């Protein structure tokens, strides 16, 4: 009996650890390149220290979100308060925040982008802020943005 319990416990820990292994890009140029290579839109999370944690805890830290995101989007996190980022990167992130019309943090923008002749052109697909309902509501709303014809 204790052996089965130990195996179950190890499987639960492994599953939990796996759901914490989302790969968030922080370099927009790299994110655009990966997005174009994989033909997936970007989920760009604009956040800062002190921003509400409900979105992180109820959506991004779940196994359902991890499974959905790996299949559908390239994750990009732009932390506007990170003291370790270069001033140019911070300025670029603030410009993107303003260009996407982000007001409240955290907020997510779905977008695709192309790089041509040194210029980046973004195609905004939609935006989402946190709303109650958990991960299933989030995924449903995201799918409506990413697949409007369905």
pLDDT at 11 over 70: no
150 or 34: which carries more pLDDT confidence? 34
What average pLDDT score do residues 79-105 get?
Answer: 90
Tell whether the model's pLDDT for residue 97 goes beyond 70: yes
CA angle, 72 then 111 then 74, to 5°: 35
User: pTM for this one?
Assistant: 0.83
Residue spans of the domains in the chain: they are 23-146
Q: What integer is the mean pLDDT of 70-90?
A: 91
Residue 92 has pLDDT above 60, yes or no: yes
What average pLDDT does the segment 69-95 reach?
Answer: 91
Domain 23-146 fold is Glutaredoxin (3.40.30)
What is the per-residue pLDDT across 112-146, written as a single tens digit (0 to 9) for each? 998 888 888 999 999 998 888 889 999 999 999 99
Q: For strand 42-47 and strand 107-116, is the pairing parallel, antiparallel, or unpaired?
A: antiparallel
Mean pLDDT of 58-81: 95
Task: State mean pLDDT over 7-31.
Answer: 69
**pLDDT given for residue 115 in this prediction:** 80
pLDDT band for position 32 (cuts 50, 70, 90): very high
Is the predicted pLDDT of residue 7 greater than 80, yes or no? Answer: no
pLDDT number for residue 83: 86
């Amino acid at each position: 009996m204790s052996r089965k319990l130990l195996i179950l416990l190890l499987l639960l820990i492994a599953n939990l650890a796996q759901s914490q292994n989302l790969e968030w890009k922080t370099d927009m140029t790299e994110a655009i390149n990966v997005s174009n290579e994989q033909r997936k839109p970007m989920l760009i999370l604009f956040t800062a220290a002190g921003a509400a944690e409900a979105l992180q805890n109820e959506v991004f830290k779940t196994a359902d979100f991890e499974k959905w995101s790996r299949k559908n989007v390239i994750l990009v996190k732009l932390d506007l308060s990170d003291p370790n980022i270069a001033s140019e990167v911070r300025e670029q992130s603030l410009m993107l925040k303003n260009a996407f019309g982000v007001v409240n943090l955290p907020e997510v923008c779905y977008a695709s982008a192309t790089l041509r002749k040194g210029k980046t052109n973004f195609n905004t697909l939609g935006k989402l802020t946190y709303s109650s309902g958990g991960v299933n509501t989030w995924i449903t709303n995201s799918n409506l943005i990413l697949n409007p014809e369905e």
